Amino acid sequence: MSLIAVVYHSGYGHTQRLAQAVADGADAQLIAIDADGNLPEGGWDTLLAAKAIILGSPTYMAGPSWQFKKFADASSKPWFSQAWKDKLFAGFTNSASINGDKQITLDYLFHLAMQHGGLWVGAGMMPANSKAATRNDVNWMGAFSGAMAQSPSDASAAEMFAGDLETGRLLGQRVAAVAARLGA
């Protein structure tokens, strides 16, 4: 089975929970970017070995956190040799507002993957946008380029919406399925 890595930052635990759901769906290895923007020992080696890299960050001030951006800038080292070329990539984000400019974060993750010569796997989920839709439905925010989650500003990570976690799990599952189909 392909090695899939989920590399993410989370300041307060919400994106961490979403990352865990994505990793569960992909049977992936989790790599947490720490509070100083650094990877744990062996993190870069795992990313190099991975067939697919799933990127995750909370949306802070209309973009990824600075810790995630520090990781992204440090990935200029594998970029120089295009060491991540042709890997599969996907992305997810979480923020307090329903919109909150989450799309900008997903777009950033997409463009980072493109700089690395990667192949992007989108959400591939229909939106839950009927009158009957609730926040516990899969893809209730109707994101197509990745998984979005909303954590109200006064909600703990333990209170995250089941639909968002399931959306993350399904994104991970899709990346694993695409990797298997490509024989990656």
Ligand X SMILES: Cc1cc2nc3c(=O)[nH]c(=O)nc-3n(C[C@H](O)[C@H](O)[C@H](O)COP(=O)(O)O)c2cc1C
Binding residues with ligand X: total (CB under 6 A): 20
Q: What gap in Å lies between CA 112 and CA 30, rounded to an integer? A: 19
Q: How far is the CB of 81 from ligand X (least distance, A)?
A: 31
148 contacts 102 by C-beta, under 8 angstroms: yes
The one among 24, 79, 101, 107 contacting ligand X by CB under 6 A: 101
**14 near ligand X (CB under 6 A):** yes
Within 51-70, the residues that bind ligand X by CB under 6 A are 58-62
**139 near ligand X (CB under 6 A):** no
For 177, counting Cβ atoms within 10 Å of its Cβ (0-12 exposed, 13-18 middle, 19+ buried), the class is: middle
Q: Which helix (H) or strand (E) holds 77?
A: helix 76-80
- For ligand X, the closer CB: 82 or 156: 156
**84 near ligand X (CB under 6 A):** no
Q: What gap in Å lies between CA 143 and CA 82, rounded to an integer? A: 29
* Contacting positions for ligand X (CB under 6 A): 10-16, 58-62, 94-97, 100-101, 151, 153
